[in-house]
Structure 1
Amino acid sequence: MFTSTLLAAATTPLEWSPTVGIIIILVNIIAIAFGKFTIKHPNSEPALPSANLFGGFGLPALLATTAFGHILGVGVVLGLHNLGRI
């Protein structure tokens, strides 16, 4: 009974497209900018090979901001898909 209700409420599956990729990239840029202003010690060790290219971030800060960006990006993509925008 419960399974049939879940199947009836399911939407069409979301397939990857360049639009999805662009949304994830833009949200990651926003997350990195947010991290730039909020992380207390962004240049923690280990350092990245070209720190200026990565905004002065160390490896932990870069991994944290991009992981946060992907989590936000998935939410944005699923929300837009649920609204029928993509």
Structure 2
Amino acid sequence: MIETLRSIDGGCAIILDAATLDLLKLGVGSRVEVSVSPDGKRLLVTPIEIEAADEEAEHRARVREASRRAIARHGAAFKKLAE
């Protein structure tokens, strides 16, 4: 499939047809991971399953909470190490 990049709000977008969206089970608001292939010549768009996105959000929340606790507990030591 060949598509044309379209200008939207200072960026670019690729418009996908309904058949492609149905095949990938995507729609407006679907989350996707966008990456570049190792050779730098291809754009990869990978659907993110809802469970994976939820797990990622939960993981980030746990990391934030652990960081907050570590800073609260060892903040003075971190400041000394930063000097």
Structure 1 and Structure 2 fold alike (TM over 0.5): no
Q: Relative CO higher for 1 or 2, CA cutoff 8 Å, sep ≥ 6?
A: 1
TM-score by length of 1: 0.35
TM-score norm. by structure 2 comes to 0.36
Greater share of helix: 1
Task: Compare CA radii of gyration and give the structure with the larger one.
Answer: 2
Higher strand share: 2
